[in-house]
Amino acid sequence: MIYVTDRPSSPKATGGAGTIFEYQFAAIMFSRLLRGAHVPIGIQLPLDRVGLQQQVTGHPFDDLVAHGFPAPAGPRIQMQVKQKIHIRGKDQDFIKVVAAALRAIREQGVEIADGALRLGLVAGGPATELTELREVTEMARAMPDHESFRALLGENVTSSRIRDRHAHVVAAVAAAATVQGEDEAAALAHQILGALHVWQVDLGPDGRDTRAEMDLLEAAFPGQGNAVDLFAHLCHLAQEYGPRAGQIDVRSLRRALRSRFGLQLGQDVPGPAPNQNKKTTNISVTTNGSGPTWVAETQTFHNLDFRRL
């Protein structure tokens, strides 16, 4: 017998909370795009384009793809976004993430090997497990192969908690790739860990990263609207662009904010010309062979009365 109820289901029970989390993260990336900030993980270049739900473009980590300048030729990082994920060898969600990473290694191995493409895991928690995973990835990047990585993970070299977290990754790889030998699983795990970057985020109205981003928006665009409202608009746009596999650059984002919400931000805001009221000076440089160099600034003073000096 089926019982029908008109009581609303919990977003967490239906999976909606994870979708909301994903769009809040996309809003943070949109904010960074507006501010001209850098890609937050994996790439130390300004963010130039943000793609949502990019499985259609061949990215196994498809939730969000961040392009470093200049897009699309610049390096990029594809990210999987999870509200919560346990970094454990038997956790089905983590095994699915590892399976997607293995697909990326198999299909995009050349780009990953030369640094043009990175993998990113963005999650809200658990913080301890994500912190340990991040440490494992950083250790893996410092080693050229899994044999040297294994030596670094020795009992008297690395803490037991880091060794245990690495063992969970290897177990998840073995489950996802259906390999028999532990050595083969460890080699595949090293490839994944070397390309993977981890970011533990705190989102929501009281979340650390959400509030920090609002403060940065306020500082970047002073007097151009309420930062809380602007962030809400970015969340709304992310919800629209996500199901359509949108790829957004700063111009299209500014255009949408202006046409939809009447917001003119940054360079689009009317104001004084860049050179208005700018002081100009004449600098003269005098050299005398290998001797001292004299640098002087020519300035004009009006209505000076030296008789009073």
Specify if 27 maps to a domain. Answer: yes
**CB-based contact 200:135 (threshold 8 Å):** no
How many structural domains comprise the chain? 1
**6 domain-assigned:** no
Mean pLDDT within 145-155: 93
Q: Does residue 99 register a pLDDT over 80?
A: yes
Q: Which amino acid is at 229?
A: D
Domain assignment present for 57? yes
Please check the confidence at residue 242 and state whether its pLDDT lies above 60: yes
For residue 189, is it within any domain? Answer: yes
Average of per-residue pLDDT across 246-266:
94
Residues spanned by the domain of 109: 11-200
Kindly report, residue by residue over 32-77, the tens digit of the pLDDT. Answer: 999 999 999 999 999 999 999 999 999 999 999 999 999 999 999 9
In a domain, 75, yes or no: yes
Of the candidates 79, 187, 193, 189, the residue with the CA atom closest to the CA atom of residue 135 = 193
Residue 300: left if φ>0, alpha if ψ -120 to 50, beta else—which one? Answer: beta
Residue 138 lies in a domain: yes
Distance CA 125, CA 302 (A): 66
**Omega of the bond leading into 274 within 30 degrees of 0 (cis):** no
| Partner residues linked to 50 by β-bridges | 66, 248
